[in-house]
């Protein structure tokens, strides 16, 4: 008898991260704080998508392994509770790879190549023409990461919306081709009508796209904070590192003295204050002074160091405790894989039935 899905009264939630580094403040406001808050309401599955890390660093397996462990530690440090939530590594779930193959047939090639998230990544990570075939395949793999769990909710940052749209298209097409669902069916009714896969609504975090600490690109756009772009403040950074990063962060380049009028808009210093400072009255009055040339960058940056340290330091300390017992992290990942495999294997079984390929 194959293991059957335990009936959980809670709806499922799926989201995750690529192990290309440690988690940063963009993850916190874009997704992580939502995840921590929703553990009671949802049956949460958090995937560490290690196969996707190979799309840009196939030559660095040891670094990918370290990042997997780092991200698991970051989850625990941020307050994800493995008793309530499932943390697992993608490559431990064979059903995901099998589903990827079938889903790949449902994605038109041209549609994939127009995907704006892929285009942005190729530009921002300076991949040029040197990306692998697997890099193009990763959005399809991500569809399988998600649909293997048939979740109700997928919390993501704004850069993932294009991938989520592709996921919705594939789910509709699969349900139409293989479950006999009428294409005119409303998205919310696909499962009720007998479809296997839900048409998922993405859930954006409080901040859709946090910028990094660096200067804008050639188009004048501030880049998103990203593990791979060397512009991130990590939730595991020491107070000293946080201070150095904030003091060196990009602000208004035209402002040379504290008495020069400054620009608040599109200025990471103020984006960070608006995002993280609990004292928004101070932020508004300091922004006015900044505009008027009545307050210095250094004073505002020092304030930001205090704000960010207060957020990060408790997480960093919890992380240090978990780091002392590496066996615990591995046990969490193994236990998570066992739970995730029960759900994903059941999805694959149902998918093969729908595909008429159950033999
Ligand atoms: P990489 O540079 O390797 O792509 P990343 O920093 O973009 O890493 P991902 O693992 O790709 O992180 O993203 C994990 C999740 O965090 C996704 O839902 C993504 O949308 C969200 N996220 C990442 N960066 C930000 C950000 N700066 N602001 C808001 N959300 C973000
Ligand atoms: Mg990314």
Return per-residue pLDDT of the chain as tens, 359 residues.
Answer: 445 555 678 999 999 999 999 999 999 998 899 899 999 999 999 999 999 999 989 999 999 999 999 999 999 999 999 999 999 999 999 999 999 999 999 999 999 988 888 888 888 888 888 899 999 999 999 999 999 999 999 988 888 999 999 999 999 999 999 999 999 999 999 999 999 999 998 889 889 899 999 999 988 999 999 987 889 999 999 999 999 999 999 999 999 888 999 999 999 999 999 999 999 999 999 999 999 999 999 999 999 999 999 999 999 999 999 999 989 999 999 999 999 999 999 999 999 999 999 99
Give the CA distances from residue 102 to residues 148, 187, 352, in Å, rounded to whole numbers and listed in that order. Answer: 12, 21, 10
Task: Kindly state whether residues 279 and 348 are assigned to the same domain.
Answer: no
Ligand that comes closest to the CA of residue 24:
1
Is residue 77 within 8 A of residue 315, CB to CB? The reply is: yes
CA angle 85, 86, 92 (to 5 degrees): 175
Task: Kindly state whether residues 77 and 166 are assigned to the same domain.
Answer: yes
Task: Kindly state whether residues 198 and 287 are assigned to the same domain.
Answer: no
User: What gap in Å lies between CA 354 and CA 351, rounded to an integer?
Assistant: 5
Minimum-distance ligand 1 atom for the alpha carbon of 20: 3
Ligand that comes closest to the CA of residue 29:
1
The CATH number assigned to the domain holding 154 equals 3.40.50.620
Minimum-distance ligand 1 atom for the alpha carbon of 226: 6
Q: Say how many Å lie between the CA of residue 78 and the centre of ligand 2.
A: 19
Tokens of 354: 């729908």
Task: Kindly state whether residues 285 and 349 are assigned to the same domain.
Answer: no
CA quadruple 226, 228, 233, 238: dihedral positive or negative? Answer: positive
For residue 223, being part of any structural domain is answered with no
Residue nearest ligand 1's atom 14 by CA: 17
Is residue 281 within 8 A of residue 348, CB to CB? The reply is: no
Task: Kindly state whether residues 255 and 182 are assigned to the same domain.
Answer: no
Task: Kindly state whether residues 146 and 265 are assigned to the same domain.
Answer: no
CA quadruple 111, 202, 143, 123: dihedral positive or negative? Answer: positive
Task: Kindly state whether residues 159 and 277 are assigned to the same domain.
Answer: no
User: What gap in Å lies between CA 247 and CA 215, rounded to an integer?
Assistant: 14
3-state helix/strand/coil string of 163-186: HHHHHHHHHHHHHHHHHCCCCCCC
For residue 153, the cross-strand partners are: 13, 201
Q: Say how many Å lie between the CA of residue 226 and the centre of ligand 2.
A: 7
CB of residue 210 inside a 6 A radius of ligand 1: yes
Tell me which residue range forms the domain holding 265: 239-318
Minimum-distance ligand 1 atom for the alpha carbon of 15: 18
Task: Kindly state whether residues 64 and 191 are assigned to the same domain.
Answer: yes
The CATH number assigned to the domain holding 247 equals 1.10.240.10
For residue 289, being part of any structural domain is answered with yes
Ligand that comes closest to the CA of residue 16:
1
For residue 55, being part of any structural domain is answered with yes
Q: Convert 115-140 to b/e letters by CB count within 10 Å (16 or more is b).
A: bebbeebbebeeeeeebeeebbbbbb
Ligand that comes closest to the CA of residue 63:
1
Minimum-distance ligand 1 atom for the alpha carbon of 228: 2
Three-state DSSP at 43 gives strand
For residue 274, being part of any structural domain is answered with yes
Number of neighbouring beta carbons within 10 Å of residue 158: 16
Identify which of 187, 166, 165 has the alpha carbon closest to the alpha carbon of residue 176.
187
* Rg of the chain in Å (alpha carbons): 22
Q: Say how many Å lie between the CA of residue 40 and the centre of ligand 2.
A: 27
Q: Say how many Å lie between the CA of residue 157 and the centre of ligand 1.
A: 6
Task: Kindly state whether residues 337 and 277 are assigned to the same domain.
Answer: no
Minimum-distance ligand 1 atom for the alpha carbon of 160: 20
What are the residue ranges of helices labelled H in the chain? 25-27, 33-37, 50-57, 61-78, 94-104, 109-113, 116-124, 133-147, 161-179, 239-247, 268-276, 280-292, 297-323, 326-354
**Residue entry with tokens 């990042």:** 67
CB of residue 34 inside a 6 A radius of ligand 1: no
Task: Kindly state whether residues 67 and 164 are assigned to the same domain.
Answer: yes
Three-state DSSP at 329 gives helix
For residue 73, being part of any structural domain is answered with yes
Residue nearest ligand 1's atom 19 by CA: 157
CB of residue 18 inside a 6 A radius of ligand 1: yes
pTM assigned to the model: 0.92
Task: Kindly state whether residues 303 and 331 are assigned to the same domain.
Answer: no
Give the chain's domain count.
Answer: 2
Is residue 212 within 8 A of residue 268, CB to CB? The reply is: yes
For residue 334, being part of any structural domain is answered with yes
Task: Kindly state whether residues 159 and 18 are assigned to the same domain.
Answer: yes
For residue 232, being part of any structural domain is answered with no
For residue 158, being part of any structural domain is answered with yes
CB of residue 30 inside a 6 A radius of ligand 1: yes
Q: Say how many Å lie between the CA of residue 2 and the centre of ligand 2.
A: 35
CB of residue 57 inside a 6 A radius of ligand 1: no
């Amino acid at each position: 008898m194959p293991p059957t899905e335990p009936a959980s009264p809670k709806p499922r939630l799926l989201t995750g991260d690529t192990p290309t580094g440690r988690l940063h403040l963009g993850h916190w406001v874009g997704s992580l704080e939502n995840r921590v808050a929703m553990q009671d309401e949802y049956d949460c599955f958090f995937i560490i998508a290690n196969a996707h890390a190979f799309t840009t660093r196939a030559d660095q397996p040891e670094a990918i392994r370290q990042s997997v462990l780092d991200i698991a530690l970051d989850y625990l440090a941020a307050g994800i509770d493995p008793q309530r939530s499932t943390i697992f590594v993608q490559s431990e779930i064979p059903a995901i790879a099998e589903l990827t193959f079938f889903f790949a047939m449902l994605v038109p090639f041209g549609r994939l190549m127009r995907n704006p998230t892929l285009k942005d990544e190729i530009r921002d990570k300076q991949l040029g023409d040197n990306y692998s075939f697997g890099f193009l395949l990763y959005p399809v793999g991500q569809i399988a990461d998600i649909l293997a769990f048939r979740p109700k909710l997928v919390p993501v940052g704004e850069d993932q919306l294009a991938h989520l749209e592709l996921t919705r298209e594939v789910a509709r097409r699969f349900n139409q081709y293989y479950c006999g669902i009428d294409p005119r069916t409303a998205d919310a009714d696909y499962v009720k009508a007998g479809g296997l896969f839900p048409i998922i609504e993405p859930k954006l975090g409080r901040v859709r796209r946090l910028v990094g600490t660096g200067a804008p690109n050639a188009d004048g756009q501030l880049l998103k904070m990203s593990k791979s772009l060397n512009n991130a403040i990590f939730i595991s950074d020491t107070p000293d590192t946080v201070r150095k990063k904030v003091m060196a962060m990009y602000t208004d380049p035209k402002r040379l003295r504290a008495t020069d009028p400054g620009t608040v808009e599109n200025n990471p210093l103020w984006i960070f204050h608006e995002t993280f400072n609990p004292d928004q009255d101070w932020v508004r009055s300091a922004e006015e002074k900044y505009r008027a040339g009545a307050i210095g960058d250094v004073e505002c940056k020092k304030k930001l160091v205090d704000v960010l340290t207060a957020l990060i330091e408790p997480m960093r300390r919890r992380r240090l405790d978990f780091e002392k017992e590496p066996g615990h992290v591995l046990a969490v990942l193994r236990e998570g894989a066992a739970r995730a495999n029960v759900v994903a294997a059941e999805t694959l079984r149902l998918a093969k039935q729908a595909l008429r390929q159950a033999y």
